Structure 1
Amino acid sequence: MKKILVVDNQISTCSLLKKFLSKEKYEVETITQGHLALAIMKKQQVDIVICEYRLPDIDADEFFEKALKTLPDVFLIFMGQEVNLKNAIDSIKKGACNFLSKPLNPDELLEAIRACSLRERTAASSVPFVGRKPTVQENGGSEEFDFVVGESREAVEMVRQIKRVGTTNFTVIIEGETGTGKEAVARLIHKVSDRSDQPFVAVDCGSLSKEIAGSELFGHEKGAFTGAVTKKTGLFELANGGTIFLDEIANLSPETQMALLRALQEKRIRKIGGVGEVSIDVRVIAATNEDLIVKSGSSFFREDLFYRLSEFILKVPTLKQRISDLPLFINYFLSQVSEELRIEKPQLSEEVKRIFYRYEWPGNIRELKNVIRRACLFIEKDQYIYKSALPAAMLVSPSYKHLDETNNGKAAYQVSSVEPDLKSAARQAEITRIMEVLEKVNFNKTKAAKILNIHRKTLYSKLKVVELAN
């Protein structure tokens, strides 16, 4: 369990954050003075510090410097009532994980905490990626290692390309199916570049409608449009000097594609409602699970933008293409989840191993991770994961086969003739859907019930049926 230290001179803020983060399964301690916080850090191990930027008793820079001297591996998130862009950027440049504006948005706070695991300050980050055996202690669950590290020929080649293009300033298009780890690849490209000490800003283009895309990417001035009650700094400006990652770029509207092309060509942006232009120095890495060449040829994606972005194209292999890495990932995720749940590390039964090797894994490594996380909630007393713990979708897929011990013990694979009855299949599908939503919202049952469109008490009842209420 991660330990978080909240430092804020307002007792009410400390109390609210402790209550909220404790519900999210974090160990939380609060303190109202910066100097006392440093004293705590000398005596206790703290993973993350969430700190008010303007503490009465100590300057933010001094606090940050002393905190890192005391605990070199600690991650720090600043928060403030009025976020000054220069202060935010300076803090991030010095190594802070994030700078959040008060009043805090709960989702943004949780995302910032989770993002801390994607940052490394220790000397371990200088060890070559290839051949490193990921462990929970070493990497803290970092998605960079969840998805990229491997020993297969495909993984080694991918890391070789990451290192090659990382030292340049080329724009990059990362192609890969859902769940292969395109953002993790982008982060590693940033990490090995000369911009590694500058911001890395990730953007989900799929969530940017043409109405808000301009404001999100380039910012707007106060009063620029109805609802623009304050000035907004765009993501390109926040990423200035560093890297901006445009995930699922094919989803951008034609209007936004045009604005993006102009920004790339001129290296300047203009805020909505603004008069002057702002110069930017940003490396752009884009990702897609579609063939942009085909889309550009069919007028869904601007051909000139494609050629501007595609100085280097990197293809991320599917899990099926790097199946020799499967044991490495299984072992890693089992270790990760057992530490999170504070249980003895479980093992896969032989039947489950065979199912894993034959399954197509359409969701790739992310699906494998989620399947293992869910299965660990159904482990038997002998600490083994059996077929009954797997999602129904895996057991009814065309690739599902079972081992028929016949012909003097010789193994013969054949399509399973055992089909679940309708009631069992429906119940399993319901459980699978509930778990998918719970994982998406970090097991916040109130949010999950809202997404599932059921009452919270109904959700608890269904969880109790499968012994998941706690």
Structure 2
Amino acid sequence: MEKILVVDDEQSMRDVLSIMLKRAGYAVTAASDGDEAIAHLGKEIFDLVITDLKMPKVGGLDVLKAVKASSPDTVVLVITAFASAESAVEAMKHGAYDYLTKPFQVDEVQLIIRNALERRRLSTENMLLKREMASQSSFAQIIGKSEAMQKVFDVVRKVADSKSNVLIFGESGTGKELVARAIHYNSARAPMPFVTVNCSAVPETLLESELFGHMKGSFTGAVSNKAGLFEVANGGTIFLDEIGDTSPATQVKLLRVIQEREFRRVGGTQDVKVDVRIIAATNKDLEKAVAEGTFREDLYYRLDVIPIVLPPLRLRTGDIPLLVQHFLDKFCRESGKPVPAITGEAMRALLEHEWRGNVRELENLIERVVAFSSGQPVTEEEIRGWLHRPVTPQQTYPTDLPEDGLDLEALINSIEKELLLKALERANWVKKKAARLLRLNTRSFRYRLEKYAIKGGKD
């Protein structure tokens, strides 16, 4: 239910607007002057504020400025009985959505309010779309005909319309977010937001604010009120990736949201109710984490109502040819290149690889293959060259200087390249993580990748 704040020093006007808006299905809060309105703004986030312009002490223009300072996304409608071109321009300059003159027709106001709230909804949807595009999984759809994947598809179809929470288990790169999306978009919640949160990517100090929002001034840097992602996802689905990386304090707050369907913003004094389906995912053994005391047992059982286990790629090698063709088509289409054939020996090399990075690792490899493709069939030699197999344990480096000397620069380059590749493999080809493993900043790490012509990977 959308929230509207009505501000007017005339009791009759407040009553007329409040009754009209409540009948239309909105949650309405009324304020008799600017001071009272600004006090409400410090406690709550409103979708729309309707304020009179001329009021004693604190006028509508001050209310407008306070709204935009504390909650920039809130839409403001200014009304007045003393209209002038100057006041209209001033109000619009400070961010008012529209400017109405008293007396006005009820139908006119209702239409303007609907349009204003639709604008806010579109703005929110646009923000979600940008967020979704930025966080989209790297492969566009779930590919697989193996028995293991058919079981996953069957579970998705059966539980999509359930209201129960889902917990997805699987190694990094197996496509947990894709399964979460499939559940959401095959459910009755499909028209509503699908919001993703990577719990391991957000610093612990910011995660609570990211999930639940905050009020202006609640901490250093909180320069305006902010709705949390649970609030943004209201009516839809929130996907909590890497849930196993959350701290005990965050786990307590998540448990409350699940149990009570409400939360409190950081620095807030009022509870916010939400209707959100939770889909969580992890690559960790949460039962072990519960036994070790690092993950709350009550939260685990609240999340693990419907478990889905995604098999690693090495256990569904029959899907590799399908995935290879899918990625070849995708990257060749994007680059405008013809789709090359894969020789039998090259495909055998792909089938024999361990794929510790799962589908994401396979995708990265095919992207590199296409980048260097000249349209000729892809050979086994090319594939094995791009697989970056680790150096065998038998390989050693000299610790003493040989009698005839050695090429120190070549040796150092060889060691450096090997460690770069090992770090990338361990980080599933995520460059920032690999850089951290080597205690390098991003710029220095990128320089070394370019130095050795190491391609592929994600930022």
Using the size of structure 1 for normalisation, the TM-score is 0.60
Is 2:319 the partner of 1:325? yes
Aligned to 1:178: 172
Please tell me whether residue 289 in structure 1 is matched to residue 283 in structure 2.
yes
SS in 2 for 1:245: strand
* Partner Cα distance (1:320, 1:459) in 2: 28
Structure 1 moving runs of 4+ over 4 Å:
85-89, 111-115, 389-394, 421-441, 458-463
Matched, 1:83 2:79: no
1:161 alignment partner AA: V
Question: 1:383: how far off?
Answer: 4.1
Structure 1 distance, partners of 2:383, 2:422, is 10
**Structure 1 residues 158, 434: closer, same or farther in 2, change over 3 A?**
closer
Query: What letter is aligned with 1:143?
Result: F
Aligned-partner Cα distance in 2 for 1:389–1:309: 41
- 1:90-132 CA-to-partner distances (Å, cap 9, x unmatched) read 2289xx5x227xxxxxxx95x55456x78xxxxxxxxxxxxxx
Aligned twin of 2:208: 214
Q: 1:144–1:188: 8 Å Cα contact kept in structure 2?
A: no
TM-score, normalized by length of structure 2? 0.62
SS of 1:320's equivalent in the other structure is helix
Report 1:25-424 matches (<5 A).
82-84=72-74, 90-91=121-122, 96=125, 98-99=126-127, 113-114=133-134, 143-145=139-141, 148-380=142-374, 382-388=376-382, 390=384, 394-396=388-390
Deviation at residue 214 of structure 1 after TM alignment: 1.4
Percent identity over the alignment is 36
Alpha-carbon offset, residue 88 of structure 1 = 7.0
For 1:183, the aligned partner's letter is: E
In the superposition, relative to structure 1, how do residues 211 and 426 fare at CA in structure 2: closer, same or farther (>3 Å)?
A: closer
In the alignment, is the contact (CA less than 8 A) between 1:250 and 1:288 conserved in 2?
yes
Alpha-carbon separation, structure 2, partners of 1:262 and 1:270: 10
**Kept in 1: contact 2:168–2:309 (CA 8 A):** yes
Q: Distance in 1 between matches of 2:330 and 2:368?
A: 13
Is the 2:161–2:186 Cα contact (8 Å) retained in structure 1? yes
Q: What residue identity is the alignment partner of 1:83?
A: D
Q: How far apart in 1 are the matches of 2:224 and 2:147?
A: 51
Q: Secondary structure at the match of 2:216?
A: coil
Tell me the secondary structure at the aligned position of residue 249 of structure 2: helix
CA distance in 2, matches of 1:426, 1:454: 11
Shift, 1:386, TM fit = 4.3
CA distance in 2, matches of 1:397, 1:454: 21
- Displacement, 1:311? 0.9
1:298 Cα deviation after fit: 1.3
> Aligned in 2, Cα 1:228/1:82: closer, same or farther, shift over 3 Å?
closer
State the SS of the aligned residue for 1:343.
Answer: coil
SS of residue in 1 equivalent to 2:355: coil
User: What CA distance in whole angstroms lies between the structure 1 residues aligned with 2:181 and 2:144?
Assistant: 17
- Per-residue deviation, 1:425: 7.5
**Is the 1:187–1:200 contact (alpha carbons within 8 Å) kept by the matching residues of 2?**
yes
Give the whole-Å Cα distance in 2 for the aligned partners of 1:150 and 1:459. Answer: 33
In structure 1, distance between residues paired with 2:249 and 2:308: 26
Displacement of 1:280: 0.5
Amino acid paired to 1:327: P
Deviations along 1:180-205, one digit per CA (max 9) or x if unpaired, are: 00000000010111101100000000
When residues 423 and 277 of structure 1 are mapped into structure 2, their CA distance, relative to the original with a 3 A threshold, is closer
Cα gap change, 1:423 to 1:278, in 2 (>3 Å): closer
What is the CA distance between 1:272 and its match in structure 2?
1.0
Aligned to 1:225, the other structure's residue is in SS state coil
Which residue matches 2:442? 451
Q: Which amino acid aligns with 2:357?
A: G
SS in structure 2 at match of 1:207: coil
- Give me the whole-angstrom Cα distance separating, in 2, the residues matched to 1:161 and 1:356: 29
Change (3 A) 1:198 1:184: same
Deviations 1:143-178 (A, max 9, x none): 351xx2321111111100001111101101000011
Mapped partners of 1:376, 1:362: distance in 2: 21
Residue 35 of structure 1 corresponds to none
Q: Does the CA-based 8 Å contact 1:391-1:429 persist in structure 2?
A: no
Give the residue type in structure 2 aligned to 1:451. Answer: T
Structure 1: runs of 5+ lacking an equivalent:
1-80, 101-107, 119-141, 399-420, 442-448
Distance apart, 1:392 and its partner CA: 6.0
- CA–CA separation in structure 1 for the residues paired with 2:338 and 2:386: 25
Q: Distance in 2 between matches of 1:302 and 1:454?
A: 38
Cα 1:258–1:87 change in 2 (3 A) is farther
- Following the alignment from structure 2 to structure 1, what is the Cα–Cα distance between the partners of residues 337 and 216? 52
Between the aligned partners of 2:158 and 2:309, the Cα distance in structure 1 is 14
**2:39 counterpart residue number:** none
Structure 1 residues 377-413: Cα deviation after superposition (integer angstroms, max 9, x where no partner): 2335634244245456543478xxxxxxxxxxxxxxx
Which residues of structure 2 form unaligned runs of 5+?
1-70, 76-116, 393-410, 433-439
C-alpha separation in 2, matches of 1:199 and 1:155: 26
SS in 2 for 1:382: coil
SS at match of 1:229: coil
- Deviation digits for residues 230-262 of structure 1, max 9, x if unmatched? 111101000000000000001000000001101
Find the aligned partners of 2:148 and 2:428 in 1 and give their Cα distance.
32
Q: Distance in 1 between matches of 2:285 and 2:255?
A: 19
